[in-house]
Chains A and B, each alone.
Chain A
Amino acid sequence: MSEQQEISLSILKKRWLKFKTLKRGYYSFVLLAILYVLSWFLPLLVNNRALVLSYEGEMYFPVISGYYAGSEFEQDVPGEAIYRELQAAWESEGSDNWIIMPVYPYSPYEDITVAGNKMYDPPSNTHWLGTDNTGRDVFARLCYAFNISISFALVLTVLNYFIGVLIGGSMGYFGGKFDLFFQRIIEIWSSLPMLFVIIIISSIIRPSFFLLIFIYTIVNWIGMTYLMRAEFYREKSKDYVAAALSMGQTNFKVMFKHILPNAMVPIITFFPFAVVGGISALVSLDYLGFGMPPPTPSWGQMLDVGLQNITKAWMVFAPISALFSTLIMVVFIGEAVREAFDPKVYSRLR
């Protein structure tokens, strides 16, 4: 019995097993997945606020509860407490107060110039990738920008595909006037010069994460409709669809329970490349200065500042290598996915 179950794998499971054998893509996938999951816990890992602080018998959790003025801990600073200095001071005094700091105790927003002029600090043990033109830690910014880039690309791609599948699928499935109408709309829509539209919109409205996703979705949902329209058009004439209809299944169920699982190939194979496109789109907008509002950490903005200070090599090197390695890992995943969906076996990519 158990042996039989082993044989009966769905096609998707088989492809997943094949994907796992393609080491380069699989390891890229695992590494990126781990890094992305970790990046959601960045405030606990890379932050200038203390994780736990014990001051005169009382416990504080600045990472969670937020702002504490320096005066609360008898620190003579304007505004928020500087926990690194508190920690150093308490340790040298040997007092009963103690602090547990995150692994990397700098924040992407923190202007370190306050604590001594640290602009353009080259990489060192304290600042792994140096500091930038306003004295912010490059490594901290790099990490936070990773989370924002990947989240942006994933949300954008999922949203695009959702709309693309819905509209493209309906076009292919219902055909007729509905198809004709949307096809014309898409033709008109896709002929607009979208980069300029985005630049104009973001120069009028101050862009945010979701506004940028919204703008990009308005532009990018079209790509999937072509593929989905063709897939649904082909699948709907097959007999299993006629069988589902003849037993009284509704159109909605036929589309999403019967046809969509058979039309997943373009969605899955294009997904990594769409993510690459999403990351690059955000980087280029940020680079041009129409993306996320400062001081949001972003690779594009870091690249821009780095190029203005080309002699400070670390400021250029850091975002470029982060961008490059992320993109190439996503491409490796995409390549392996394509290979896993290919019924023919090529040994070159293994």
Chain B
Amino acid sequence: MNKNTLVDVKNLSVHFPVHGGVFSKRVATVKAVDGINFSIDRKQIVGMVGESGCGKTTVGRAMINILRHVAPDVEIGGSIEYHFGDEVVDFAKLSSSEVRKYRSRVQMIFQDPYASLNPRMTVAQIISEPLQLHTNMTNKEQTERVGWLLDKVGLQPEQARRYPHEFSGGQRQRVGIARALATNPDLIICDEPVSALDVSIQAQVINLMMDLQDEFDVSYLFIAHDLSVVEHISDKIAVMYLGDMAEYGNAQDVYHQPRHPYSKALLSAVPLPDPSRKDRKRIVLEGDVPTPLNKPSGCAFRTRCPIAQPSCAESKPEFKEQAKDHFVACPLVE
């Protein structure tokens, strides 16, 4: 924790109650996120990886406080402290009306560029909506800003009058990026922004996002399941498994010297376009990911872990700083 910290996530947990039976009693809890800690500095890109269903997206949505919209009974524990200037705001505690005035500081880029743009609005209307909400710009200023933003993301300002269905997937994602940048936010949560795109377009969009990060001095929380993408873009990498954070550290450390057995297995699955490294050992995990409805006791990963010990079932492993800035949730590899 230093004065450059933008957001400090402490012990964040997101639980969805499951109701069943005649009287809709609470029968179980989906522990989508179960006590994670990390922080994002200003102008930093944090990559977050993990299998599908491990809670990456839930973390992202918790951080912009829109979980209650779809699941009103969600239980959010811990804190998500944003440092906006001198103000410290905890998004985990605020109600959706209290959080409204900070909305311009944290924005989101969505995974599916086809669903995240309202099909009944033109691009100009889509991008100028945050401007209407958070600035006092006149219509003319808004139009200028929209044109400028479109130019920044590599579209023509004349395309502002078009509807989303007239664009390709990559172009739509650029519109989504322009919308997120419109209010000069401090943090943009990118929820798998490129996984719905062609590989050739992915590279363009990622390079665009990196350029824009430099220009707008914004931080990214870059959620993805593609490790090579994350390694390319991130300053820090967080590896998640079943609602827990397995490893968190500088990108180079995590990518090249992973410590947690899950990170090792995950990284060994990254395809390398290098035939000379054909002999690389591939760690294949046994079995399936357990359900977050009924997580294993102790370490959640122990059911599939190649180095599991009987002691792993006893208590949840401590998320410990094993090397400088390198947190690992596994005492066996210390």
Contact = CB atoms under 8 A, between A and B. Distances in A.
A79 interface: no
Given A236-B70, A240-B116, A245-B69, A8 B129 contact: no
Interface residues of A, number: 29
A1 B158 CA distance: 8
Nearest to B161: A8
A262 B118 contact: yes
Interface stretch (A41-49, A146-154, A246-254, A293-301): A246-254
B108 A8 contact: no
B281 interface: no
Contacts of A7: 162, 166
Contacts of A262: 118-120
Contacts of A176: 72-73
B161 A242 contact: no
A244 to B, nearest CB: 7
B110 A239 contact: yes
B36 to A, nearest CB: 21
B285 interface: no
Contacts, number: 90
Contacts of B99: 248
A350 interface: no
A175 interface: yes
Contacts of A12: 120
Contact of A248 (B115, B134, B163): B134
Given A248-B101, A249-B129, A243 B108 contact: yes
A3 to B, nearest CB: 11
A239 B111 contact: yes
A247 B72 contact: no
Interface string A217-253: 0000000000000000000111111111111111000
Nearest to A240: B118
A243 B110 contact: yes
Interface string B166-191: 10000000001001000100000000
B69 A238 contact: no
B120 A247 contact: no
14 contacts: A7-B162, A7-B166, A8-B166, A176-B72, A236-B70, A240-B116, A242-B66, A243-B110, A243-B179, A246-B66, A246-B106, A247-B134, A248-B101, A248-B103
Interface of B: 61, 64, 66, 69-70, 72-73, 96, 99-101, 103-104, 106-108, 110-112, 115-120, 122, 129-130, 133-134, 158, 161-163, 165-166, 176, 179, 183
Interface of A: 1, 4-5, 7-12, 175-176, 236-250, 258, 261-262
Given A243-B116, A246-B103, A246-B108, 19 more contacts: A1-B158, A4-B158, A11-B119, A176-B73, A236-B70, A240-B116, A242-B61, A242-B110, A242-B116, A243-B176, A247-B134, A247-B179, A247-B183, A248-B104, A248-B130, A248-B133, A249-B133, A250-B100, A261-B120
